[in-house]
Amino acid sequence: MEDSKGHILWVDDEIELLRAHIRLLAERGYAVETASNGEDAVSMVRRSGFDLVFLDEMMSGMGGLETLAEIKEMRPNLPVVMVTKNEEESLMEDAIGGKISDYLIKPVNPSQVLAACKKFLEKKQILGAAVSKDYIQGFNQIAASLVSTPGYEDWIDIYTRLVGWSLELDEHPELGLNQMLLEQYREANLAFGKYVEKNYRNWVEQTSRRPILSLEVVDRFVIPELQSGRSVFFFVIDCLRLDQWLVMESVLQEFFDISKQYYYSILPTATPYSRNAIFSGSYPSDLEIRFPELWEKSEDDENSRNRYERQFLDKLLERRHVNLKPEPKYIKILDAEFGRGIESNIASYTQSRLTSIVVNFVDMLAHGRSDSSLLKEIAPEESAYRSLTRSWFMHSSLLGMLRALSRHPNVTIVLTTDHGSIRSLRGTKVLGDREASTNLRYKYGRNLKSEEKAAIFVKNPLEFKLPRRGVATNYIIAKEDYYFVYPTDYHKYLNQYRDSFQHGGVSIEEIILPVVRMIPRT
């Protein structure tokens, strides 16, 4: 039994007529036992560890459906293939209701039997072999793209392929390909950091031959939807990566027709900069002129730095001559209880032309994992982090709101994020004055110094359209998976923040972001 491809029980009251099938399966490496009635079959399942059961539907004594019920009570996860002469839909429904795994119509031929065995007993190995082969080919294609001087659209393609393989390999951890994939992510981020450093100054000075940036999200993706006359819901989920979105998208596909485009976050990839740019349609340096008080509070108080989002959006729509009646609504969800309240009343917002909803939980999850050994235990690496995101989403007010909106055919949902996050694995020492900021992936202050390979150095903030804050202020922005640590208590903070999800820097995970359009299927 140990060397067989699987242990099969075939139950049929005319089992002698099936000896040719049974010999074929034995020749193909399967161990097959037989029973000629339901009672014996139930007894054999109770005693032995079968991997698959072929079960005749029409048997004297205990019938196939009754036998199925007995088997499933003992072994609910044991695959059972029903074999029947009856093609009536009612039988199929009865069988499916009885949790059959598949059914075959008599007379069965050898290829059908063999296909069923491969499906239930060798599927994992066959898929694994196919995935391994395809991944090696995909790995080589991505590697070729990385050395071909990719442009901003090519980088979107590279990143989406890497994320696609991340999700594929989540299903096949036994293949041992994850380390290979992580190394290719690191290689990609090394090249992407150099690409952004070389091109970012030009991007913020021009409006063509560059990616869509944060400040154009409303213009490019929201305002055109308002012209349709439908009720538009604009969701911004703080700190949502593409892989996390795709996990959520798989849940939403039954409710919506979904299409995706991509944009690049401005730098730093942090809420005070990127999300303010989304709602204002302006660079941070322009906001500093119009709202100087925006940059006066502590950098750690991100909520205070985003307290003008409603006003920013109103002014942006006014500049674009978009007049909405009734006036646009703005909601920021910071806790679960408030989110449940919005969920219960979400239908009332369909009367508005535009409702903007900011959801902060994913950002809280990233920060919480940094400080919680329990969350690190639950989500020790990327795959588990995606799984944790899905678990939250399945029980969240966000899913409740989206499902409720899917029942309103005149609704369009535009969903995006302000930045992503990266799993920070390499600490690097940074020097600066006492007034320098405490952020881990970017810093501003005077005379900031760090390893050249680890950061982009911004001596003149206006070249990056960043707030000047003072005459001598400069910025450093981390590349790849580096994070900044001050010399004071260096080893303490180096260890505390190693393997935490951070944002603010330059990586494909933080910068390349999805913008999703969803139309209810109803």
15-19, 367-371, 440-444: range with highest mean pLDDT: 440-444
Residue linked to tokens 């990056």:
464
In a domain, 207, yes or no: no
Tell me which of 168, 202, 236 is where a domain ends. Answer: 202
Residues 101 and 139 in one domain: no
Structural domain containing residue 436:
424-502
Please indicate, yes or no, if residue 133 is contained in any of the structural domains: yes
pLDDT of residue 349: 96
Helix (H, G, I), strand (E, B) or coil at 228: coil
Q: Quick one: average pLDDT of 122-148?
A: 90
Q: What is the pLDDT of residue 471?
A: 67
Name the amino acid, one letter, at 392.
Answer: W
- Do 471 and 386 sit in the same domain of this protein? no
Count helices and strands in the chain by DSSP H and E runs: 22, 19
| Spatial CA neighbour of 6 closest among 20, 25, 34 | 25
Question: Tokens 């009570």 — which residue?
Answer: 73
Considering the domain boundaries, does residue 296 fall inside one? yes
259 shares its domain with 319:
yes
pLDDT at 304 over 70: no
What percent of the chain has pLDDT above 70? 95
Q: In what order do the strands lie in the sheet with 329-333?
A: 256-264, 512-520, 411-416, 231-237, 354-359, 329-333
248 lies in some domain: yes
Ramachandran sector of residue 125 (left: φ over 0; alpha: ψ -120 to 50; beta: rest): alpha
Q: What percentage of the chain's residues is helix, strand, coil (to nearest 5)? A: 50, 20, 30
What CATH number did the domain enclosing 75 receive? 3.40.50.2300
- Structure tokens belonging to residue 61: 């004594």
Give the residue from 258, 183, 254, 263 showing the smallest Cα distance to 218: 263
284 and 238 within one domain:
yes
The answer to the question of residue 347 being in a domain is yes
- Is 37 inside any structural domain? yes
**pLDDT value at residue 65:** 86
Q: What is the pLDDT of residue 88?
A: 67
Task: Tell whether 456 and 417 lie within a shared domain.
Answer: no
The 10s digit of each residue's pLDDT in 467-479 is 987 667 899 999 9
Same domain, 394 and 434: no
Looking at 76, 108, 140, the residue that finishes a domain is 108
Residues 63 and 181 in one domain: no
Six token digits for residue 41: 């079959």
The structural domain count of the chain equals 4
Residues 256 and 389 in one domain: yes
221 and 290 part of one domain: yes
In a domain, 457, yes or no: yes
pLDDT at 141 over 90: yes
Task: Report CA-CA distances (Å) from 436 to 4, 138, 295, 299, 442.
Answer: 66, 43, 14, 10, 10
State the chain's mean pLDDT as an integer: 91
229 and 302 part of one domain: yes
Among the candidates 108, 133, 151, a domain finishes at 108
Residues 452 and 415 in one domain: no
| Residue 251 counted as domain residue | yes
Assigned token pair, 379: 């989500």
Examine the pLDDT at 300 and tell me if it is beyond 70: no
Q: Answer whether 0.75 is exceeded by the pTM.
A: yes
pLDDT of residue 285: 93
Per-position DSSP letters for 165-183, written without gaps between them: HHHHHHT-GGG--HHHHHH
Dist. CA 209–CA 193, nearest whole Å: 19
In the predicted structure, residue 298 carries a pLDDT above the cut 60: no
Torsion, Cα 294 298 303 306, to 10 degrees, reads: 20
Kindly state whether residues 101 and 136 are assigned to the same domain. no
CATH code of residue 256: 3.40.720
